[in-house]
Amino acid sequence: MKTTMHRRDVVVALLKDRKDLLVVAGLGSTAWDISAAGDTDLNFPLWGAMGNAAMFGLGLALAQPRRRVLVLTGDGEMLMGLGSLATIGVQRPRNLCVVVIDNERYGETGMQVTHTAAGTDLAKVAQACGFASAAQVRSPGQLAGLRRKIHGARGPHFAQIKVVAEKLPLVLPPREGVLLKARFRRALLGKDADLV
Amino acid sequence: MKRSESDAWPEAIFSTLKGAGVRQVAYVPDGGHKRLIELCIADREMRTVVLSTEEEGIGLLSGAWLGGQRGALLMQSSGVGNCINQLGTVRECRFPLLMLITMRGQKGEFNPWQVPMGQATPAVLQAMDVVVNEANSAAEIAPAVDAAARLAFGSYQAVAVLISQAVIGIKSFQDQSSR
């Protein structure tokens, strides 16, 4: 079944009424997606560190077990860090969700196809690594259920959401790393975080 | 030298990490870190995270700092090469990072394939703006780790302590596998 979902619509739907959800985005399109949905201090968009978005989420989820943590990343970024799914499967943090926005392309470098275009099933990888739930998402009707998992159900959860391959206008978050780090810590930990 | 003096350095590192408030300990195993890893696993306040590759630890501990926790990353020198690009993010974001690295390819190495990365380890770390502290004897290790932790968490630096192969003393395959 060919997907008709658009990535920015998907991300807006997942982040609707996000409350105090903590969000890490992988470099490239998913960082622009969360910014298009509304840049906030509790977003940590990566501009580098390719392959490591899920591990940022794991460290954050272990440090903040009472908060929900969502990692949104692309298929190319996730493919570079497949081992991190095994590492998360060992730790099994119940407050972590990893969602791959899968357009089957390297979107920032000329839309070259990734492994998922040839059928690599990231959800099956996550399932085999011990995630509490892992699924491919191909229709908008599945998004409400996934959103409920992100905000409450015992994880770790994984979803691979098939979206249309499209070039979209850039919506850029701040790009200075120190600023992104400091604003996130202040919003999460309070001003005392500056004095630690 | 008595066992208590020459072999107690893993216990001394462990006490230093506890004193520094380290809560997440990430590692790819190394023979030289065997005892320290066991101590961290047995500690109820520390979360140990076994990695599939060392660069995962850079992301993990950066995320931990975003969430208000301190961490430490344990690896062998060969793992430093796996971390290079991720260290760029540490520098750009000025995340504190404490790396404890047991050296191979150095004093008395028996495996030639370990030598290139082992010999390049200090230069590679320094090229990525990581402060390098070398500990060449058992007695130097705990003070070096303590100073590194203060520099990392007090001054928001990436700091590596290189624990010399002279301390670890792996001299043969038989020696390595009998640990």
- A1 pLDDT more than 80: no
ipTM of the complex: 0.97
The alpha carbon of residue B156 is apart from the nearest alpha carbon of chain A, in Å, by 10
pLDDT of the residue at A2: 86
Tell if the CB–CB gap between A59 and B59 is shorter than 8 Å. yes
Helix/strand/coil percent split, chain B, to 5: 55, 20, 25
Query: Cα Rg for chain B, rounded, in angstroms?
Result: 15
Determine phi and psi for A70, rounding to 5 degrees.
-120, 125
Question: Taking the model in full, what pTM does it have?
Answer: 0.96
SS (H, E, C) A151-166: HCCCCCEEEEEECCCC
Residues of A within 8 A of B61 (CB-CB) are 59
Residues of A within 8 A of B94 (CB-CB) are 177-178, 181
The reply to whether A2 falls in a domain is no
Tell if the CB–CB gap between A59 and B71 is shorter than 8 Å. yes
Residue in chain A nearest B47 by alpha carbon: A62
The reply to whether A59 falls in a domain is yes
pLDDT of the residue at B1: 46
- B171 pLDDT more than 70: no
The CATH number that applies at residue A20 is 3.40.50.970
Q: Per-residue confidence at B3, pLDDT binned at 50, 70, 90?
A: low
Cβ(A185)–Cβ(B94) below 8 Å: no
The reply to whether A1 falls in a domain is no
Range of the domain at B91: 3-177
The CATH number that applies at residue B7 is 3.40.50.970
Determine phi and psi for B128, rounding to 5 degrees.
-100, 20
pLDDT tens by residue, B43-95:
999 999 999 999 999 999 999 999 999 999 999 999 999 999 999 999 999 99
Counted domains in chain A: 1
Residue in chain B nearest A85 by alpha carbon: B52
Range of the domain at A178: 7-195
Residues of B (44-63) whose Cβ lies below 8 Å from A: 47, 49-53, 55-63
Counted domains in chain B: 1
Two tokens at B81?
A: 């090469």
The reply to whether A23 falls in a domain is yes
